[in-house]
């Protein structure tokens, strides 16, 4: 974390649906120019935390503070658009109220999907869909990006590429990033701050620190924790969305 | 052209023009069965209109809106699966309507006209309703077009981006209720949703954008009304079902054309 400029703070947040307690006493902060990742098993309430940050759900208890003038760019887990809905990428991006074609092209270029502007949304691959969603989030010129499992439905190389992309966007825009992830192997190296949760926050901190924490081992089991010990990937090139090999830059910096 | 035929044509074209764009949303949002359920409740509205001696169209709109809101509320409770809930409400509403109408002693109701429509018996007052209501529906649809597309793409994304999702969804239901009330006289309660769905589904084949699909659905609906009325005139078939058959033929023709799948 380079600065301690908080964008969102959750203080003692709890959430219950009827008798079921989903979240209890969650404290977390999301900072500018910092990637914060939520990890935890299924049903741990990761999505509930994100929904509270987004304002989609109200916390039952506790406080939610958002910086004045916060602009959130949100990337949902999945995009399910009925086949009967004729929609090009351009028209999809237009529903953000952005009418400027050049701006849309720029956002697409930024995520390496510049060639997709006039494509039908139904012909995109998993990785392309994620990039389009990311471009849509960027069109709002966000100071906070909220990404719900941004690499879902993407193959392993694509996942690495997407996490690299998210790191680059954060570096260039100095925005805060809050994301949910399942696949800890890859995300650990692309994040600054990990929050490991199971209805409450079990442990949090720098990835290297969290993986040593006893409660992390408890949550994911010894096998899981060992497998998740910080994995740094080494590759000498990247792929763009259309498969071209792009040479790796030297200063690629993962948190 | 005979007066009644001209009125039938105008009324039919008016209804098709509004049912097309709205039908596109019914198709995109997979609300076909939902529309059907609302339509079935229209008969209850008719009987209430007689019972309380209020305007029939208003009674039908009110009834559809109440049913729509209770549907959404019950859906949230998750007592039964949504399709079961829709099935229960559709047929219960229809049966309640039939029972209520049979209990009205001093009113003789032409039930068939309500169930299957009586396009050729359209009055000038009906025409005012079609065009007045139609202009209102299209104006609202125009105004809400982008928010409606946004919530159709992804409701949560739309909400984060500042679209008032609940209100827009409610407005869409209200629009569907109004169209049902207007279209009831034309194609009847049992066939209304076909006029929403078939032209829109057929237009999908030709459309590369949501706007093209909405306009295409309106145009195909109008063609179906014209062809259906001609069929009815020459072969003496019931007008409402003839319009639906014409729409079906449009649909089948378009889907048998060898068009590119890249849409």
- Predicted pLDDT of residue A239: 53
ipTM of the complex: 0.85
pLDDT digits (tens, 9 = 90+) for A88-133: 999 999 988 777 889 999 999 999 999 999 999 999 988 899 999 9
Query: From the CA of B92, how many Å to the nearest CA of chain A?
Result: 30
- Predicted pLDDT of residue A41: 82
Residue A207, domain member (yes or no) = yes
A84/B153 Cβ within 8 A: no
Residue A60, domain member (yes or no) = yes
For residues A9 and A26, the answer to whether their CB atoms sit within 8 Å is no
User: Please, which residues have CB within 8 angstroms of residue A72's CB and are 6 or more apart in sequence?
Assistant: A53, A54, A140, A142, A144, A145, A146, B160
CA B70 to chain centre: 19
A-chain residues within 8 Å CB-CB of B207? 86
Cross-strand bridge partners of residue A75: A147
Phi/psi class of residue A76: alpha, beta or left (left: φ > 0; alpha: ψ in -120 to 50)? beta
Q: Report the C-alpha gap between A47 and A247 in whole angstroms.
A: 35
Q: Does B112 reach chain A within 8 Å, measured CB to CB?
A: no
Pick from B160, B262, B263: CB nearest A72: B160
> Tokens representing B79?
């007592």
Q: Which domains occur in chain B, in start order?
A: 3-193 (1.10.3470.10)
Q: Is the pLDDT of residue A251 over 60?
A: no
Residue A198, domain member (yes or no) = yes
- Predicted pLDDT of residue A213: 79
- Predicted pLDDT of residue A225: 60
CATH number, domain with residue A25: 3.40.50.300
Mean pLDDT by 10 residues, chain B (263 residues): 86 94 94 90 88 87 89 82 89 91 80 85 89 94 95 93 91 91 85 93 94 97 95 91 94 85 52
Q: How confident is the model at residue A199 (pLDDT cuts 50, 70, 90)?
A: confident
Range of the domain at A23: 6-78+144-247
Secondary structure in 3-state letters for B66-118: HHHHHHHHHHHHCCCCHHHHHHHHHHHHHHHHHHHHHHCCCCCCCHHHHHHCC
Q: Report the C-alpha gap between A237 and A2 in whole angstroms.
A: 27
Residue A19, domain member (yes or no) = yes
Pick from B149, B154, B161: CB nearest A140: B161
DSSP-assigned letters across all residues of B201-233: HHHHTT-SSHHHHHHHHHHHHHHHHHHHHHHHH
Residue A134, domain member (yes or no) = no
Residue A70, domain member (yes or no) = yes
- Predicted pLDDT of residue A243: 54
Q: How confident is the model at residue A237 (pLDDT cuts 50, 70, 90)?
A: low
> Tokens representing A192?
């600054």
DSSP B131: H
Q: Report the C-alpha gap between B69 and B166 in whole angstroms.
A: 11
pLDDT digits (tens, 9 = 90+) for A125-174: 888 999 999 999 999 999 999 999 888 888 888 888 899 999 999 999 99
Please state, for a pLDDT cut of 90, what percent of chain A lies above it. 48
Residue in A185, A85, A189 with CA at minimum distance from that of residue B263: A85
DSSP-assigned letters across all residues of A79-122: ----TTS--BHHHHHHTTT---HHHHHHHHHHTT-GGGTTSBGG
Q: Is the pLDDT of residue A232 over 50?
A: no
A-chain residues within 8 Å CB-CB of B210? 85-87, 91
Residue A110, domain member (yes or no) = no
pLDDT digits (tens, 9 = 90+) for A71-95: 999 999 888 899 999 999 999 999 8
For residues A29 and A178, the answer to whether their CB atoms sit within 8 Å is no
Q: Is the pLDDT of residue A245 over 60?
A: no
Q: Report the C-alpha gap between A247 and A231 in whole angstroms.
A: 21
> Tokens representing B143?
């105004």
B-chain residues within 8 Å CB-CB of A82? 27-30
A140/B28 Cβ within 8 A: no
Residue A129, domain member (yes or no) = no
User: Please, which residues have CB within 8 angstroms of residue B66's CB and are 6 or more apart in sequence?
Assistant: none
Query: From the CA of A85, how many Å to the nearest CA of chain B?
Result: 6
Query: From the CA of A15, how many Å to the nearest CA of chain B?
Result: 18
Domain count, chain A: 1
- Predicted pLDDT of residue A137: 94
> Tokens representing B39?
């339509």
Residue in A4, A9, A13 with CA at minimum distance from that of residue A201: A13
Which residue of B161, B208, B254, B259 is the best one to mutate when testing the A interface, meaning the one whose CB has the most A CBs within 10 A? B161
Query: From the CA of A254, how many Å to the nearest CA of chain B?
Result: 28
B153/A92 Cβ within 8 A: yes
> Tokens representing B138?
């299209």
């Amino acid at each position: 974390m380079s600065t301690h400029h908080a964008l969102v703070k959750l203080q003692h947040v709890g959430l219950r649906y009827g008798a079921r307690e989903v979240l209890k006493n969650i404290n977390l902060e999301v900072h500018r120019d910092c990637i914060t990742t939520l990890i935890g098993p299924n049903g741990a309430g990761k999505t509930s935390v994100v929904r509270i940050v987004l304002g989609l759900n109200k916390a039952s208890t506790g406080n939610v503070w958002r910086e004045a003038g916060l602009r959130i760019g949100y990337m949902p887990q999945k995009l399910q658009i009925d086949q009967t809905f004729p929609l090009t990428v351009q028209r999809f991006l237009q529903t953000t109220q952005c009418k400027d074609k050049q701006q849309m092209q720029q956002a697409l270029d930024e995520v390496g999907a510049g060639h997709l502007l006039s494509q039908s949304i139904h012909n995109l691959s998993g990785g392309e869909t994620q990039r389009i969603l990311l471009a849509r989030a960027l069109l709002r010129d966000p100071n906070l990006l909220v990404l719900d499992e941004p690499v879902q439905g993407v193959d392993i190389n694509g996942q690495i590429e997407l996490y690299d992309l998210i790191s680059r966007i954060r570096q260039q825009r100095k925005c805060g990033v809050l994301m949910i992830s399942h696949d800890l192997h890859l995300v650990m190296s692309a994040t600054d701050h990990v929050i490991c949760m199971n209805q409450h926050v079990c442990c949090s901190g720098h990835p290297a620190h969290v993986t040593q924490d006893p409660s992390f081992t408890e949550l994911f089991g010894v096998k899981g924790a060992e497998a998740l010990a910080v994995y740094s990937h080494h590759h000498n090139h990247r792929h763009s969305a259309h498969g071209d090999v792009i040479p790796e830059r030297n200063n690629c910096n993962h948190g | 052209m005979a007066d009644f035929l001209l009125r039938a044509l105008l009324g039919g074209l008016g209804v098709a023009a509004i049912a097309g764009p709205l039908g596109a949303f019914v198709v995109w949002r997979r609300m076909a069965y939902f529309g059907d359920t609302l339509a079935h409740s229209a008969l209850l509205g008719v009987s209430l209109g007689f019972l309380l001696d209020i305007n029939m169209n208003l009674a039908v709109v009110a009834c559809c809106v109440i049913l729509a809101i209770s549907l959404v509320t019950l859906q949230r409770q998750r007592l039964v699966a949504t399709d079961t809930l829709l099935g229960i409400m559709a047929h219960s509403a229809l049966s309640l309507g039939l029972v209520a109408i049979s209990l009205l002693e001093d009113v003789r109701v032409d039930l068939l006209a309500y169930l299957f429509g009586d396009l050729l018996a359209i009055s000038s007052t009906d025409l005012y309703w079609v065009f007045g209501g139609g202009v209102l529906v299209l104006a609202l649809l125009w105004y809400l077009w982008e928010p409606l597309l946004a919530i159709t793409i992804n409701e949560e994304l739309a909400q984060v981006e500042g679209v008032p999702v609940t209100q827009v969804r409610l407005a869409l239901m209200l629009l569907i209720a109004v169209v049902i009330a207007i279209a009831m006289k034309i194609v009847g309660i049992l066939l209304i949703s076909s006029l929403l769905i078939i032209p829109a589904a057929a237009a999908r084949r030709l459309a590369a954008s949501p706007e093209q699909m909405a306009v295409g659905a309106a145009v195909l609906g109008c063609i179906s009304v014209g062809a259906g009325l001609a069929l009815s005139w020459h072969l003496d078939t019931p007008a409402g079902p003839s319009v639906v058959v014409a729409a079906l033929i449009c649909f089948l023709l378009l889907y048998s054309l060898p068009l590119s799948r890249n849409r």
